[in-house]
Amino acid sequence: MVRRATIGDVAAHAGVSTATVSRVLNGGAVTEATAGRVWAAVSSLDYTPNALTRGIFAGRASTIGVVIRDLSSPFYLDLIRGIDAVAAANSSLVMFANTFRPSDHEIALVRMMDEHRVRGLIVTTGESTDSRLRRMAESGTPCVVVARTVPGPPPGLHSISLNDAAAGRLMAGHLAECGRSSVGVVTSGGRPSQIARTAGLRQALTDLDLPLPEDAVTIAATEKDVDRAVGELLARAHDRGRPLDAVVCTTGRLTVAVHAALTARSVAIPDDIAFLTMDDFPWAAALGISVITQPAYQMGRRASELVVERPSRAVSVLVEPTLVARSSCGENSAGKDRADAFRPEVSS
């Protein structure tokens, strides 16, 4: 096992001091002749400077930390791509951790990011990590909370989130326009953004004189729970005497599962039941599934930018949802915008 060359080895090889080597590497005043000798030594020794040591002196690493709940969700995937794109443009690497749900170890992951003295931290965790994030922010590590609505960003933390209530309203509007009146909702539960979407949906539906009964909303924490949840939804509506003509899913994470549960029951979409969900994904166009999108890639970019630019005051960004109407809710009586292809936001 070959020992790695250190700056000292380079200095010795070039016949100069380590200070001079450091100056050559980082751009200080050095004679051309000296610089030449140093570069020769660097390449002949295959010297690769140690970023850890650099970081300890600078007080922080050059990496951007990301703690995400679920990598496989289309939203988070695009978010990461956005984060990565601006990180790369700033020659930062991304330090990544997936909490997997139901995770109480998100606290441990945020702590690890803190220990690694990340340049900034982008997080989609719950409130449990707030106190540490706040302390990190106070000691100069910009922290961005993504995709959290109520109760709003804790003071000192940046926040980027979707106008979740508007997303719910958009859903209600589209469903109403497509002539649907008995809506069932599958939501992943307790997170503020989920609650806000459902609340927005209910409010808008009520305003349209299409009230959403309490038991027309079911919670499915994971994909495993979805089939049961959908079954209950259908049964309850039937018992109530108003069979469902629309099913809404408030999280992109469960789209596949809800769709599968519907298909498994031989429900025809959109003839029997309209289907509307969150977050666009590559196959949505092929399947004709209408969705409400959030600009995930842009949100990721913005998050990274906040880390890189470290504004002095905490900034809150609220982005607006968009309806991508395809065919899963049936014919749109009004003339609304319509999209036929998946449009990846990865513009570069």
Partner DNA sequence: GAGGAAAATGTAACTAGTTTCAGTAACTGG
Partner DNA sequence: CCAGTTACTGAAACTAGTTACATTTTCCTC
- By C-beta, is 3 or 224 nearer to DNA? 3
Q: Is 61 in the site for DNA (CB under 7 A)?
A: no
Task: Evaluate whether 180 touches 186 at the Cβ level (below 8 Å).
Answer: no
Applying CB under 8 A, does 56 fall inside the site for a second copy?
yes
Q: Identify which of residues 35 and 324 has a Cβ nearer to DNA in the complex.
A: 35
49 binds DNA (CB under 7 A): yes
**Omega before residue 151 within 30° of 0, cis:** yes
Q: Are β-strands 158-162 and 316-319 bridged in parallel, bridged antiparallel, or unpaired?
A: parallel
Residues in the chain: 348
Query: In a 3-state reduction of DSSP, which class is residue 211?
Result: coil
Q: Considering only CA atoms, which of 161, 111, 165, 153 is closest in space to residue 136?
A: 111
Q: Which two tokens stand for residue 102?
A: 């139901």
Alpha helices of 4-104 — where are they, by DSSP H? 7-14, 18-26, 32-45, 51-58, 74-89
Beta bridge partners of 218: 186
Per CB under 7 A, 298 contacts DNA = no
Query: Counting contacts by CB under 8 A, is residue 134 touching a second copy?
Result: no
For residue 40, state whether it binds DNA (rule: CB under 7 A): no
44 binds a second copy (CB under 8 A): no
CA distance 321 to 162: 7
Q: Give the C-alpha separation, 39 to 25, whole Å.
A: 9
Q: Which does 267 bind (CB under 5 to 8 A by kind): a second copy, DNA, none?
A: none
Distance CA 293, CA 252 (A): 9
Of the residues 1, 2, 29, 334, which one makes contact with DNA according to CB under 7 A: 29
- Which letter, b or e, does each residue of 149-162 get, where b requires 16 or more Cβ atoms within 10 Å of its Cβ? beeebbebbbbbbb
- Please say which residue, 117 or 197, places its beta carbon nearer to a second copy: 117
What is the x/- site pattern for DNA, positions 239-278, by CB under 7 A? ----------------------------------------
159, two tokens: 């926040």
Q: Decide which of a second copy, DNA, none touches 63; Cβ closer than 5 to 8 Å per partner kind.
A: a second copy
Our finding on whether 308 is near DNA (CB under 7 A) is: no
Q: Which of 12, 39, 45, 54 binds DNA (CB under 7 A)?
A: 54
The entry of a second copy, DNA, none that residue 18 binds, CB within 5 to 8 Å by partner kind: DNA
**Residue 114 in contact with a second copy, rule: CB under 8 A:** yes
| Binds a second copy by CB under 8 A, chosen from 16, 21, 80, 133 | 80
Q: 102: buried, middle or exposed (CB in 10 Å: 19+, 13-18, 0-12)?
A: exposed
Transcribe 263-317 into DSSP letters: HHTT--TTTT-EEEEES--TTHHHHT-EEEE--HHHHHHHHHHHHHH--SS--EE
- Whichever of 57 and 224 has its CB closer to DNA, that residue is 57
- From 19, 40, 51, 235, residue interacting with a second copy (rule: CB under 8 A): 51
**Residue closer to a second copy, measured from CB, 96 or 236:** 96
The item of DNA, a second copy, none sharing an interface with residue 113, based on CB under 5 to 8 Å by kind, is: a second copy
Closest approach, Cβ 348 to DNA, in A, equals: 30
Among 138, 207, 215, 320, binds a second copy (CB under 8 A): 138
Q: Amino acid identity, residue 301?
A: R
Residue count, binding to a second copy (CB under 8 A): 55
Cα atoms in the Cβ-side hemisphere of radius 13 Å centred on 287: 19
Interacting residues toward a second copy by CB under 8 A: 1-4, 46, 48-53, 55-56, 61, 63, 71-72, 77, 80-81, 84, 88, 91, 93-98, 100, 105, 109, 111-117, 135, 138-140, 256, 259-260, 263, 282-283, 285-287, 341-342, 348
Interacting residues toward DNA by CB under 7 A: 4, 6-8, 15-23, 25-26, 28-31, 33-35, 49-50, 53-54, 56-59
